[in-house]
Chains A and B, each alone.
Chain A
Amino acid sequence: GAVVSQHPSWVICKSGTSVKIECRSLDFQATTMFWYRQFPKQSLMLMATSNEGSKATYEQGVEKDKFLINHASLTLSTLTVTSAHPEDSSFYICSAPGRNDEQYFGPGTRLTVT
């Protein structure tokens, strides 16, 4: 199956700083990628759809100025959490669709804001 990587796997940052998370499709191209956030023992909540060459589409309630998404190439999307606060601590997962619409998920990035 297709492989999606994320970097870093985990990150600890201080409140008020920014953190960038990378999502890469390793053996296929992805014009669209999705960013999810998952709190402990909860479901995956879609934050935004990342579109190569155009602006991301954000879900209702997600601040686009706080969660900056850039889809610079057909294999890379980045999520930057700006001015991070402790309530932003979560598991961030990206995914990219395969040939048959199945979603291939990255391994996730655990963000802890102190």
Chain B
Amino acid sequence: QQPVQSPQAVILREGEDAVINCSSSKALYSVHWYRQKHGEAPVFLMILLKGGEQKGHEKISASFNEKKQQSSLYLTASQLSYSGTYFCGTEETGAQKLVFGQGTRLTINP
């Protein structure tokens, strides 16, 4: 079942923060986050496996709620290079495959 991402699109000025949400109606085994730039393949950002987990790298971080049905991606002090479409990919227990959300288009303006 496809997870629901929100918002569908965000426009920011450089230096502003953004939050992208990903929700599932079922408890998940894992949540993956990817960024895709136009005409290119998605690039892996991070994976969350445990309820209540939070992890990050530099100014991009993510959380996975205790019930493992909702994840959020946090972009802090956004840079121009953060522009692109962000996808969450969710894996249900036993499924061994990812189902991707519809994507969130992030535009960073100078």
Contacts and interface: CB of A to CB of B under 8 A. Distances in A.
Give the interface size bracket for A toward B. 10 to 19
A104 B44 contact: yes
B32 interface: yes
A44 B40 contact: no
Interface string A28-54: 000010100000001111100100000
A45 B91 CA distance: 14
B57 to A, nearest CB: 13
A105 interface: yes
B97 A105 contact: no
Contacts of A32: 96
24 contacts: A1-B44, A42-B102, A43-B2, A43-B100, A43-B101, A43-B102, A44-B42, A44-B100, A45-B100, A46-B98, A46-B99, A46-B100, A93-B42, A102-B44, A103-B32, A103-B34, A103-B44, A103-B89, A103-B98, A104-B44, A105-B43, A106-B41, A108-B40, A108-B41
A41 to B, nearest CB: 8
A34 B97 contact: yes
Nearest to A49: B97
A105 B99 contact: no
Contacts of A106: 41
